Amino acid sequence: MENGGRPSLGQFILLGTSSVVTAVLYSVYRQKAQVAQELKGAKRIHLGEDLKSILSEAPGKCVPYAVIEGAVRSVKETLNSQFVENCKGVIQRLTLQEHKMVWNRTTHLWNDYSKIIHQRTNTVPFDLVPHEEGVGVAVRVLKPLDSVDLGLETVYEKFHPSIQSFTDAIGHYISQHPEHSLVPAPSPAVKVGHASGVITSPPSSLPSPPTCPSCL
């Protein structure tokens, strides 16, 4: 406040900045809430012969949000696991992750710490098909990696204990930052024949949801 009891220029600037930040955050919240509401109302469509008629009758021959479940079928080739015999899939993710236990000098407790060192994801084109035989309908999944959570199943996991030299041990003791590390090598995958689901891509007026876009 100035001597006259009026707000200073700095306070006006701070108030204006806070108002702008609040407005931006509220706008983002409204946008996310709209997407969440649309996803809650997503129509669950049976993967059968009536799917084509549903699309043809929809405005623009497009269903903005829809849940479709089916069995995974590769279009051509499949991915083979280098760790598990006879394990075939359409999405494979290899993750090298470090798990570390670090001693906290303040709390005198061991804290768990993890860091992804390397991650590689391989995919091949695949379809979602009905579980029933003789139904000539399939949904091609175009961009599965755009999904926020693929829900991959871990088919292989191995831990490699870190090798600590005598110099490292002395250094950790002096700095009072002892560490114990393990590096697992998990290999998650989506297997051929397993059930999976997608939600069709939304219209361009809405931000993309955390799901896999699909098409016929």
d(CA 96, CA 187): 9
**DSSP conformation class of 6:** P
b vs e for 161-195, b when ≥16 Cβ sit within 10 Å of the residue's Cβ?
Answer: eeeeeeeeeeebeeeeeeeebebeebbbbbbbeee
pLDDT classification of 214: cutoffs 50, 70, 90: very low
End-to-end alpha carbon distance in the chain: 65
On the question of pLDDT at 36 being above 60, the answer is yes
d(CA 116, CA 100): 11
Residue pair 172/179 in contact (Cβ under 8 Å)? The answer is yes
Residue 170 has a pLDDT of: 53
d(CA 142, CA 48): 19
Alpha-carbon 212 to chain mean position:
10
Instruction: Name the average pLDDT for the chain.
Output: 73
Task: Give the contacts of 215 (CB within 8 A, at least 6 positions apart).
Answer: 139, 140, 142, 200
Residue 205 has a pLDDT of: 36
On the question of pLDDT at 207 being above 60, the answer is no
Residue pair 61/55 in contact (Cβ under 8 Å)? The answer is yes
DSSP-assigned letters across all residues of 140-203: EE--GGGSS---PEE----EEEPP--HHHHHHHHHHT--EEEEEE---EEEETT-EEEEEPPPP
Quote the pTM value: 0.59
Of residues 134 and 17, which shows the higher confidence score? 17
pLDDT digits (tens, 9 = 90+) for 115-139: 888 888 888 888 888 887 777 788 8
Residue 192 has a pLDDT of: 61
